[in-house]
Amino acid sequence: MLRIPAGLPDEADDARLSRYRQVAIALIILFVLLSPAVHTFAEHTVPTAERWFLLTGSVVFVIIFFVFGISPASPWIRPAPWAGLAAVVALAVALFTLGGSNWLAVLAAAGGACGRFSQTRWPTVVSSVACAGAGFGVAITSNAGFGGTLAATVIGPIVAFFAYGSSRRAEAVSALRRARADLARTAVAEERLRIARDVHDLLGHSLSLITLKAELASRVIGTNPARAATEITELESVARQSLSDVRAAVAGYRQPDLTAELDSAKQLLDSAGIASQITAADTGGLSHDVDAALAWAVREGTTNVVRHSKATQVAIRVSVDAARATAEIGDNGPPADDEPATRLRPLADRSRQPAPDDRSGRIRLGGSGLAGLAERVHSLGGELVAGPVAPQGFMLRVAVPLGAQS
């Protein structure tokens, strides 16, 4: 049974934490980027034009940065265009060059914006080079010393590549979350299909046997009460076993046994008054999955013969060679008027099945029983073929590679 990987944060919790994180980052960035501008504007030693440029430029930089980093995603900014990232880097370099080391944070913010909102690594590389060059140039001209020069040179590239890696990691987590949701939906769909397929196969066989025994008991109850009592007792046993099988199928534990299914097929055919010839090779060495696939084939084929074929004789043959195990169920039922003989053909997936047609009274190639059986067989790499045979009758053949596992 398919298990869904755990460990990823819930999407609602992740969205809530993301909002808190964005608010905290916004407040920090607002303080870090505007504090130098406010401080410089209060300094009367700085020329007025320069003060106004630094204050205005800082406000514009904060607005642009918040558009990229804090506002909801917009198609025209994510991934950010080169022009927008270039404007962010150019304004950061200008502010840092004019304001000096107090504006070191704008280089880090510009590098982070390029790393966070670049679709490829090239904007990150270009912005890192620009920020590193500006930091190194200003530090050298202002005699910032070794520590100051090193900090001004590496802060932009470090933040840029850290943001780029964080962005790619966030995208990977988002893709993994979507994949987990897809796996969950697929697992639910597969489990529904498995339950429906198992219940159909189990009940189709069991209800056919129950119906036959009930009819037989009703016919002989007046003339042979002892025989009727025997049939009713067997009917009760079949009903109880059917209930147990359905419960096991829903729980996922039910897998038929080939030997038991051959015995059950013999009982069903005898109850229906159909002569049967059953031959089976030694199947003790078959894997569990191969044995189960052949058992499902015998069950489905026998049930369809009783319900649809109007046959008087049935031959069931199970053979094993060096490469595969095969089950064949053939009957001598009359063909439909528009059903040519020797038209055995493989059954593929459900989407390619012909539409059901009950007019002939024969086995329907498009029925859900054979379609479900085909899915079981194909999952093991096997083949299922079915169709009319000459001079009359119908053949169902299932071949499964030895050692196959689902």
Q: Which residue has the higher pLDDT, 36 or 214?
A: 214
Strands 313-320 and 275-280, how do they pair?
A: parallel
Tell me: domain 274-406, CATH 2.60.40.1510, correct? Answer: no
Q: Which amino acid is at 221?
A: I
pLDDT-wise least confident of 30-34, 189-193, 197-201, 247-251: 247-251
Structure confidence at residue 396 as a pLDDT band (50, 70, 90): very high
CB atoms within 10 A of CB 63: 9
Q: What is the pLDDT of residue 360?
A: 40
87-96, 240-249, 288-297, 351-360: range with highest mean pLDDT: 288-297
Q: What is the pLDDT of residue 68?
A: 61
Average pLDDT over residues 133-146: 83
Contact predicate 369/303, CB 8 Å: yes
> Which of 18, 9, 103 lies closest to 54, judged by CA?
103
> Which of 272, 261, 268 lies closest to 373, judged by CA?
261
Q: What is the per-residue DSSP string for 32-62?
A: HHHHHHHHHHH-TTS-HHHHHHHHHHHHHHH
DSSP category for residue 305: I
For the stretch 318-331, pLDDT in tens is 999 888 999 999 99
What is the distance of C-alpha 234 from the center of its chain?
Answer: 44
The alpha carbon torsion through 44, 49, 51, 53 (nearest 10 deg) reads 180
For the stretch 338-393, pLDDT in tens is 555 445 566 554 433 443 444 343 444 445 678 778 888 888 889 999 888 888 88
Domain assignments of the chain as residue spans, ordered by start: 11-184, 274-406
Contact predicate 283/238, CB 8 Å: no
Strands 383-388 and 345-346, how do they pair?
A: antiparallel
Q: What is the pLDDT of residue 366?
A: 44
Q: Which residue has the higher pLDDT, 307 or 301?
A: 301
Q: Which residue has the higher pLDDT, 252 or 303?
A: 303
For the stretch 77-132, pLDDT in tens is 555 566 767 778 888 888 888 877 777 888 888 888 788 777 777 778 888 888 88
pLDDT-wise least confident of 14-18, 76-80, 122-126, 240-244: 76-80
Structure confidence at residue 277 as a pLDDT band (50, 70, 90): very high
The percentage of the chain sitting over the pLDDT mark of 70, rounded to a whole number, equals 76
The whole-chain average pLDDT of the chain stands at 76
Interatomic CA distance for residues 305 and 313, integer angstroms: 10
Rg (CA), the chain: 38
Interatomic CA distance for residues 404 and 382, integer angstroms: 8
Q: Which amino acid is at 289?
A: D
